[in-house]
C-alpha cells in the first residue's frame, strides 16, 4: 500500500485492499528467508503471511481514517498488532495449551515444524511486533512533526499493555483456569475482555493515537466502540464454533463443547447469543455517532464482525 | 534505588546495591499478585524476583555511568532487559526445549506450576519488558529534555531487535538445530553471538543510549567491548558446565555433554578455553581505553564475567 485507500470504495473492496496490502506490509517488516536462521524465518512467514481475516489491521486502518493518521504509522501499527495476534495463535495451538492441529485450513506450526520451533516463532513474532512499531520513521515524516516520537512511544506502551498479563496473556491464563468450571456471565465477559477484547481495543486506539491528539470524549467514544465490538467478536466466535463446520472455519469446529469450555452459547443459548451480538452491533454504531461520516469504515467493521460466517 | 550509586564504592558493594535495587525496580514494574490473574502474576514474580546474578542490569548501570544516563531511564532499561532474559530462561527450560527442572536452585516454572503457565509467564514477561521501557517518564525528566521520547524509542527498537529472530530467538533456533552436530569454532561463535551475545550487547548499549548522543567511535568501542564480554560469558559458561557441580551453579551441571551439545570445551579443550576467556577479558579492557576512569565499572564487570565461579 503506497497510498491511502479512497473512502469512496465499497466496503468489500476496501477490505480486500487492506488485506492484500497487509501481505506487502508484513513482507517488509519480517526478515526474509535468506537471513539466518532460515528455518525460523520460514516458519514465521508460514504462519503470518497467509491471509487470515486481518480484523485487527482493518480496525487500525478504519480508525486511522477518522483521525487522519499518517500512513507509515498505520502500516507499522497494523503489522505490529497482527504479529501479536498471530504469535498468540501459534502458542495457543501448542499441545500444552489448546493442542490444535488446524489453523486457517493449514497444519499449525508445531505440527508442520515442531514444538520448539513453534515456541520460538511465537517469541520472535512478539519481539518483531515491537521492533516494527518502534522502527524509525521516514525522515520527511519525522521532521514534519516533532511530536511523532512521543506518539509512537504511547502506541508502543498501549500495545505492550494490551498484550501482557493485564491484557491478552492474562485473559488466556483465566481461560485455562476456567476449563470445566461454571462461569457466570460477568466472569466470562471479564475473561474475553482480556483475552480478545484488549487487542481489538488496542487496534482501534493504535489507529487513532497515531493521528491528532484525542479529546477525552473521543477517547471514551472509541473505548465504547471497542468494548462493544470486542465482546461481539467473542459472542459470534462462540456461535460459529457451535454452528459452523471445520471446513468453513478453517479450524476445528465444536472444540469448545468438546473441551468443556464455558461459552456464550453454553450459558445463554443460541438464540439469546444471537440477540446479544445484534445488540452489541447497535451499541458500536451508537458510540460512533460523534464522528459522523469519517467513522464509516468502523461502522462497517462492526457489521462485518457480527455478520461474518467464519 | 532512589539515587545514583557512588562510583567510589568498592565493586562488590556497588554490585550488591544494584542487585538488591533491582528487586525494588522489578517490584515496581511487575503487576502485584493482588491483580487478576493472581496465579500468573505470582508465577511471573516467582521467576523474576529471586536474585540471580543480574549481569545484564549491572551492564546497563555500568554503561550508564560512562554516559551520565538519567536514573529513570537506567531503571527502565535494566528491568526490561532482565525481563527479556528471565522470559527466555522460562521458555528455554520447557520440555520441548532443554527440559530442565532446576534454575537458580529452584524448580523451574513449568515444574512448579505447569507447562501452559510457563508459556504464558514467558509471553507476559516479554510484553512487560516493552511496557516497562515505553512507560511514561516522570514529568520533570520528560520536559527537561525534548529529545527524550526519541531516545526511548531508539532503546526500544534496539531491545526488540536484540530479542527477536535476528538476535536471541534466532540464536536459540540455531542452538536447537545444532544438537548432535559438529560445529566449527566460527559456527559456534555465530550461534552464541545471537543467543547470549545480542542481549548482553543490548544491555551495554541501552545504558549508553539513554545518555548523551554517542559518536561513531564511542559506538564502535562499546560494540568491541560488548562482543568481547558476550563471547567470554559463553566460554566461561561452557567451562563451568564442564567443571562445577549443580549445587554451585544452581542449575543442572554437565548438561551440555549429556545433551551432546557442541561447546567451547568440547571443541577447544579446557586449557585453551580458559586462555581464550582471559584473552577476551584483555580485549574488553582495551576497548574501554578511550573512556578512561568513567568506564571503571564496565572493566570490573569484564573481570567478574571471566572470573566468576557460577
The tens digit of pLDDT for each residue in B148-157 reads 888 999 999 9
Packing angle of the helix pair B38-48, B71-92 (nearest 10 deg)? 100
Q: CA A192 to CA B160: how far, in whole Å?
A: 28
Q: CA A227 to CA A221: how far, in whole Å?
A: 10
CA B72 to chain centre: 19
Could you report the predicted ipTM of this complex, rounded to two decimals?
A: 0.94
Q: How far separated are the first and last CA of chain A, in Å rounded?
A: 26
Packing angle of the helix pair A216-243, A185-192 (nearest 10 deg)? 110
B-contacting residues in A 259-278 (Cβ below 8 Å): none
Asked if the Cβ–Cβ distance from A126 to B124 is below 8 Å, we say no
Q: Do A102 and A251 contact (CB within 8 A), yes or no? A: yes
What is A25-43 written as a DSSP string? Answer: HHHHHS--TTSSSHHHHHH
Phi, psi for residue A106 in degrees, rounded to 5: -125, 160
The tens digit of pLDDT for each residue in A128-144 reads 999 999 998 877 676 66
Helices (H), chain A: 11-29, 38-48, 55-67, 71-92, 109-112, 115-133, 139-144, 148-163, 168-178, 185-192, 198-209, 216-243, 246-249, 255-258, 264-268, 270-287, 296-307
Beta pairing partners, B106: B103
The tens digit of pLDDT for each residue in B260-307 reads 778 899 889 999 999 999 999 999 999 999 999 999 999 999 999 999
- The reported pLDDT for the residue numbered B1 is 46
Q: CA B15 to CA B38: how far, in whole Å?
A: 32
Coil/strand/helix, residue B106: strand
List, in order, residues 6 or more apart from A307 with CB less than 8 Å away.
Answer: none
Q: Which of A230, A299, A241, A274 is nearest to A63 (CA)?
A: A299
Mean pLDDT over the full length of chain B? 91
Spans of all domains in chain A: 11-307
Across the interface, of A120, A164, A172, the residue whose CB is closest to B128 is A164
Q: Which of A210, A225, A292, A295 is nearest to A7 (CA)?
A: A295
Question: Is 3.40.50.300 the CATH classification of the domain at A11-307?
Answer: no
- Please classify residue B108 by burial: count the beta carbons closer than 10 Å to its beta carbon, then call 0-12 exposed, 13-18 middle and 19+ buried: buried
Q: Which residues of B touch A159 (CB under 8 A)?
A: 130
| Cα of A225 to nearest chain B Cα, Å | 24
Print the SS3 string covering B54-70: CHHHHHHHHHHHHHCCC
Q: How many CB atoms lie within 10 A of CB B95?
A: 17
Asked if the Cβ–Cβ distance from A149 to B146 is below 8 Å, we say no
pLDDT truncated to tens, each residue of chain A (310 aa)?
A: 446 777 789 999 999 999 999 999 999 999 999 999 999 999 999 999 977 899 999 999 999 999 999 999 999 999 999 999 999 999 999 999 999 999 888 999 999 999 999 999 999 999 999 999 999 887 767 666 778 888 999 999 999 999 999 999 999 999 998 877 788 888 888 999 999 999 999 999 999 998 878 899 999 999 999 999 999 999 999 999 888 877 776 767 677 767 777 889 988 999 999 999 999 999 999 999 999 999 999 999 999 999 988 8
Secondary structure letter of residue B294 according to DSSP: G
Across the interface, of A39, A135, A167, the residue whose CB is closest to B173 is A39
What is A241-255 written as a DSSP string? Answer: HHHS-HHHHTS-TTH
Q: Do B221 and B291 contact (CB within 8 A), yes or no? A: yes
B-contacting residues in A 154-173 (Cβ below 8 Å): 156-157, 159-161, 163-167, 169-170, 172-173
Phi, psi for residue B102 in degrees, rounded to 5: -130, 135
Q: CA A83 to CA A122: how far, in whole Å?
A: 9
Give Cα separations from A194 to A112, B121, B306 (angstroms): 29, 16, 45
Asked if the Cβ–Cβ distance from A91 to B134 is below 8 Å, we say no
- The reported pLDDT for the residue numbered B183 is 81
pLDDT truncated to tens, each residue of chain B (310 aa)?
A: 446 777 789 999 999 999 999 999 999 999 999 999 999 999 999 999 977 899 999 999 999 999 999 999 999 999 999 999 999 999 999 999 999 999 888 999 999 999 999 999 999 999 999 999 999 887 767 666 778 888 999 999 999 999 999 999 999 999 998 877 788 888 888 999 999 999 999 999 999 998 878 899 999 999 999 999 999 999 999 999 888 876 676 767 677 766 777 889 988 999 999 999 999 999 999 999 999 999 999 999 999 999 988 8
- The reported pLDDT for the residue numbered B145 is 76
Per the structure block, which three cell numbers stand in for A245?
Answer: 463446520
Q: Does A85 touch chain B (CB under 8 A)?
A: no
Amino acid at each position: 500500500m503506497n497510498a491511502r485507500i479512497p473512502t469512496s470504495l465499497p466496503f468489500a473492496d476496501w477490505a480486500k485492499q487492506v488485506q492484500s496490502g497487509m501481505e506487502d506490509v508484513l513482507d517488509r517488516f519480517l526478515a526474509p528467508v535468506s537471513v539466518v536462521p532460515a528455518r525460523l524465518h520460514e516458519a514465521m512467514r508460514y504462519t503470518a503471511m497467509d491471509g487470515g481475516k486481518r480484523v485487527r489491521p482493518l480496525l487500525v486502518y478504519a480508525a486511522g481514517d477518522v483521525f487522519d493518521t499518517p500512513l507509515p504509522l498505520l502500516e507499522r501499527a497494523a503489522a505490529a498488532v497482527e504479529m501479536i495476534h498471530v504469535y498468540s495463535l501459534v502458542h495457543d495451538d501448542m499441545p500444552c495449551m489448546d493442542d490444535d492441529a488446524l489453523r486457517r485450513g493449514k497444519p499449525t506450526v508445531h505440527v508442520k515444524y515442531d514444538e520448539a520451533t513453534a515456541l520460538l516463532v511465537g517469541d520472535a513474532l512478539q519481539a518483531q511486533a515491537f521492533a516494527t512499531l518502534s522502527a524509525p520513521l521516514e525522515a520527511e515524516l519525522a521532521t514534519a512533526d516533532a511530536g511523532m516520537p512521543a506518539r509512537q512511544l504511547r502506541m508502543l506502551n498501549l500495545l505492550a499493555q494490551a498484550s501482557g498479563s493485564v491484557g491478552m496473556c492474562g485473559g488466556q491464563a483465566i481461560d485455562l483456569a476456567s476449563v470445566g468450571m461454571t462461569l457466570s456471565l460477568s466472569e466470562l465477559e471479564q475473561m474475553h475482555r482480556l483475552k480478545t477484547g484488549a487487542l481489538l481495543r488496542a487496534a482501534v486506539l493504535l489507529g487513532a493515537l497515531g493521528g491528532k491528539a484525542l479529546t477525552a470524549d473521543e477517547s471514551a467514544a472509541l473505548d465504547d466502540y471497542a468494548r462493544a465490538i470486542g465482546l461481539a467478536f467473542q459472542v459470534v466466535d462462540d456461535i460459529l464454533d457451535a454452528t459452523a463446520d471445520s471446513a468453513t472455519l478453517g479450524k476445528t469446529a465444536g472444540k469448545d463443547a468438546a473441551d468443556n469450555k464455558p461459552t456464550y452459547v453454553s450459558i445463554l443459548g443460541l438464540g439469546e447469543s444471537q440477540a446479544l451480538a445484534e445488540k452489541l452491533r447497535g451499541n458500536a454504531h451508537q458510540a460512533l455517532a460523534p464522528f459522523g461520516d469519517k467513522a464509516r469504515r468502523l461502522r462497517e467493521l462492526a457489521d462485518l464482525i457480527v455478520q461474518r460466517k467464519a
